[in-house]
Amino acid sequence: MSRLNLSEWALKHRSLVVYVMLVAVIAGYLAYFRLGRNEDPSFTIKTMVVQAAWPGATAEETMKQVTERLERRLQETPHLDFLRSFTRAGLVTIFVNLKGSANARQVTDTWYEVRKSVGDMRHTLPAGVIGPGFNDDFGDTFGIIYGFTSDGFTQRELRDHVEDIRSRLLQIPDVSKIELLGAQDEVIFVEFSKQELATVGVDRAALLAALRSQNIVRPAGVIQTGKETISVRVSGGFQSEQDIAGVNFVAGGRTIRLSDIAQVRRGYVDPPQPMFRVNGQPAIGLAIAMRDGGDILALGRNVKGVMAQITADLPIGIEPTLVADQAVVVGNAIGEFMTSLLQAIAIIMVVSFISLGIRPGLIIALAIPLTLAIAFPIMEMARIDMQRISLGALIIALALLVDDAMTTTDATLNRLAQGDSKVDAATFAYRSHAFAMLAGTLVTIAGFIPVGFAASSAGEYTFSLFAVVAIALLVSWLVAVIFTPLLGVIILVPPKQQAAAAPGRIFRLYRHVLTVAMRAKWLTIAFSLALFVASIVAFPLIPQQFFPLSDRPELLVDISLPQNASVLASETAAKRLDAALTGNPDVDHWSTNVGRGAIRFYLPLSVELPNDSFTQAVVVAKDVAARERLHVKLERLLAEEFPAAVASVSPLGLGPPVGWPLQYRVSGPDVEQVREIALALAQILATEPRTKGVNFDWMEPQRQLRIDVDQDEVRRLGLSSEAISNVLNTVISGAVVTQVRDDIYLVDVVVRAVDEQRISLSTLRTLQVPRPGGRTVLLGQFASFGYHQENPLIWRRDRIPTLTVRADIGGGTLPDTMVEALSPAIGKLRKALPASYDVAIGGTVEESQKSQASVLAVVPMMLFVMFTILMMQLQSFPRLLMVVSVAPLGMIGVVAALLLSGRPMGFVTILGVLALLGMISKNAVILIGQIDAERAEGKSAWEAALDASSSRFRPIMLTAVSTVLGMIPIAPTVFWGPMAVAIMGGLLVATVLTLVLLPTLYVTWFGGKVVAEASASS
């Protein structure tokens, strides 16, 4: 055994150990400042978007010929969870969602397979299909966003300045990419009157061909001489709209200038691209993303420094506004957590000093920073940043890592009191407790296995909790057996014989209670079992929650107009919202995205794809209290001012994005039947007073102008449906005929009719359609016009039409509570459904169930690891059974603490409860080991249980109290609060019951004659 005594080795090599301590402290100090800083841990967004376009096709044609073909192939994707798609007329968008069990490497490989697989079947799609295209860059977080507004500058001039700024910012270290928001591409419009073309006798096709042929880029050859190489260039390329206006072409035997028959002007895309507004003003945004593992605080400082220089050089009238600043959020969060960490350290130190004394307390005080100093470089090597999860894990680990140091110090003090030399006393702890402490440490780590290996997005999000706790606890054991004995030899002195009065009274009280409990062993066991059963019965009373809302001051305001609404209608709605926010005292600033959702400025954000009918504003309140006041005002405003829109106001969430809190999916083969079921389901949701804003992700049809062509007459006239469609597209929407190469931009040249002739049904009837030979014919002569209804879009899930009924929840009610309340009525509806139709839960509740299932799937592995470690240490089935019997007792305190505090049982809390099993088991293992050691000295089972429990009372209680008090700083926090409360309550109750019930179980199993209460000496 002596050969394995690390404490003895450390004492024999003191200079080396001291040197290692100094190196560890310096390395930890440097690593702390090199660790990346971020708001949330990175996790892989396991979604790819596949898009394809088939211009001119109806929604039904697109779904059957494009969506269906693509989805059949995509269903073969490895690790596929489900497909989700929506189909518009001529456009299909498919979301390929992978299972939570897919790791980052598998996700990358899968996206490669998707591209290759779809590429292989590309030839089976109808002619004219554009794409498919792929987008898997969903995980990028653009934490810093600037908005640039202008006064007296054109949109192009503003964009030129913003492009220059973007180029400069891309040179900053840690910047990975920068996206432009709200920039409108320039277009040169060639607008003509149909009557004018007909009067002059211009062939529209010949006009377009002339524009294309003059502006085309083609090589004219290279001349090789004896001395040099000379490139040949042919002039004619367009440099501006004036070049286009000056084009001459021949019509009817005469030369005509384009400007004589058409208006040539430079403008911007029509309809507009998604727009960006800042504080009510049109703007162009720059969204900056950080590279993986970067330091957002350093990035924020560097960006602000460069922006200060840029702003000084900007012309008057262009104003930059910092719209989103993740660096400030992270800086404040890390500052708060570091304060919590220091408070936890101070609390544990105070407990150590008061309970152990100045010198022993100093050893504990030195063990804490030493453990952290060693843990930081390991975190750096493991690429674990300082973020929400890892910082909370450090505080949780901090409350646990003093356990081994306290055990070593307490054993050393006891041996010094018995007259051992300092060296013998310092090495005794290793001989008697080292492997029990290691087993307990490994069991505690095993309790966090479901955190580290849960195959879900939530599990990936919280992985660093497992990693940091495992690192800190293993390091704390090494510190306890190598460094703490050396510190003990240097610092400790033999204690005085007299004991303090107060601890003596507590000690005697505990010994008396334990004796009574052991005598009434069956009553003690029955009472403990009754408490446990009561906690299980009361467990359903605890409210359930997936992840809590963030404590950031932002509010997301979503406005969804009817699905056939134009982007101009969305812009009008955005301006009305801007007017309402202007001058509000609770608003600090806001930005509005028109025609799309906000870019991912916050990792857990649920990102909305571009959609003309959708507007999303990010309103930043002055503080959280102002956010709550603003929340109420905006909900009332949206209900009054936007009654026809689906509008919602919500704070930012934590954890993986889930969207609307209450969601039900209705699916089935027939779209009309799905609609009817969804309406019935919506009625059930609407009758529940706690739900609000019941809506659908698609429902209402839209108008379609159908032009029925007499095909016989068309063929007699020498025309075709294709020729007619081309003419209509050119007149109404415009056709891109060429591009002007202007600096770094490509400016489309669009030929179309003048405004008044593009939007009137009467003008369409009199549209002159050119015939072969130069003549024209009125469209109304061979076509009739009528309005029809069609689905603007159709959502599908795994190739089945699916309509999602969504709702918000008021009154602070949690989604799980609402689903439980609605369950009976929805159950009746589900039973009455025809075959092949179904109603499924979605949103927060579904994601929570998936995440919890992923955790529960790992629990058997956790139990196996725990049992294996315990059996290796205890090597006895009865002893193993005792530990297993005591471990679940934490639920008594967990349920009581959560019910009394009103905190919910969330995903993170569940992880804490599972980890609690390891903490309790650790105490039980060390206590059983002490009882066996006492029996080895010849004591009876009764005396050994009583004396061992008495000797372990102080270190076990000190560790529990330190853990409980050490979590006080994070108990008020939104994210960690419920978990901290659960661990505090569970550990405190379980520790007391362990110190009473475990000795009772021991003497019950192994027998032992009841003896009179012994003296209170340890």
Distance separating alpha carbons of residues 143 and 600, to the nearest angstrom: 8
pLDDT at 309: 93
pLDDT at 960 over 90: no
pLDDT at 251: 66
pLDDT at 327 over 90: no
- Each residue of 876-889: pLDDT tens digit? 888 888 888 888 88
Q: What is the DSSP string of 453-501?
A: H--SHHHHHTHHHHHHHHHHHHHHHHIIIIIHHHHHHHH--PPPSSPPH
- Identity at 168, one-letter amino acid code: R
Q: What is the mean pLDDT of residues 3-26?
A: 87
- Identity at 846, one-letter amino acid code: E
Confirm if 1 and 564 have CB atoms less than 8 A apart.
Answer: no
pLDDT at 139: 66
- Each residue of 23-40: pLDDT tens digit? 999 999 999 888 888 777
Percent of the chain with pLDDT over 70: 93
pLDDT at 345: 80
Enumerate the β-bridge partners of residue 192: 262, 753
pLDDT at 751: 84
- Each residue of 162-198: pLDDT tens digit? 999 999 999 998 898 999 999 999 998 888 776 666 6
pLDDT at 768: 73
Distance set, CA 872 to CA 443, 481, 714 (Å): 11, 20, 89
Confirm if 66 and 797 have CB atoms less than 8 A apart.
Answer: no
Distance separating alpha carbons of residues 384 and 374, to the nearest angstrom: 14
pLDDT at 760: 62
Report the candidate in 580, 575, 416, 551 with the shortest Cα–Cα distance to residue 489: 416
Q: What is the mean pLDDT of residues 822-837?
A: 89
Which of 80-94, 430-444, 583-597 comes out lowest in average pLDDT? 430-444
- Each residue of 355-368: pLDDT tens digit? 777 888 888 888 88
621 vs 37, more confident:
621
pLDDT at 545: 76
Q: Where are the beta strands (DSSP E) in 122-201?
A: 130-135, 144-150, 175-181, 186-192
Distance separating alpha carbons of residues 156 and 268, to the nearest angstrom: 9
pLDDT at 1016 over 60: no
pLDDT at 324 over 70: yes
User: What is the band of 281 on the pLDDT scale with cuts at 50, 70, 90?
Assistant: very high
514 vs 919, more confident:
514
- Each residue of 668-693: pLDDT tens digit? 998 889 989 999 999 999 888 888 88
User: What is the band of 1011 on the pLDDT scale with cuts at 50, 70, 90?
Assistant: low
- Each residue of 257-278: pLDDT tens digit? 878 788 888 888 888 999 999 9
Distance separating alpha carbons of residues 1018 and 999, to the nearest angstrom: 16
Q: Which of 400-404, 653-657, 983-987 has the highest mean pLDDT?
A: 983-987
pLDDT at 1010: 58
Mark residue 693 as left, alpha or beta (left: phi above 0; alpha: psi -120 to 50; beta: remaining): left
755 vs 290, more confident:
290
pLDDT at 769 over 50: yes
Q: What is the mean pLDDT of residues 635-662?
A: 83
Which of 513-527, 767-781, 805-819 comes out lowest in average pLDDT? 767-781
pLDDT at 472 over 70: yes
pLDDT at 994: 87
Which of 126-130, 745-749, 807-811 comes out lowest in average pLDDT? 807-811
593 vs 925, more confident:
593
pLDDT at 77: 92
Percent of the chain with pLDDT over 90: 23
Return the number of other C-beta atoms located less than 10 Å from residue 724's C-beta: 18
Distance separating alpha carbons of residues 1017 and 951, to the nearest angstrom: 9
pLDDT at 811 over 60: yes
Q: What is the DSSP string of 715-746?
A: HHTT--HHHHHHHHHHHHT-EEEEEEEETTEE
Helix (H, G, I), strand (E, B) or coil at 287: strand
Return the number of other C-beta atoms located less than 10 Å from residue 1016's C-beta: 15
pLDDT at 496 over 70: no
How far from chain centre, in Å, is Cα 804?
22
- Each residue of 695-737: pLDDT tens digit? 888 777 777 777 888 888 888 888 877 778 777 777 777 778 8
Say if pTM beats, i.e. exceeds, 0.75.
yes
Place of tokens 């906690």: 535
Q: What is the mean pLDDT of residues 48-55?
A: 90
What does the mean pLDDT of the chain come to? 84
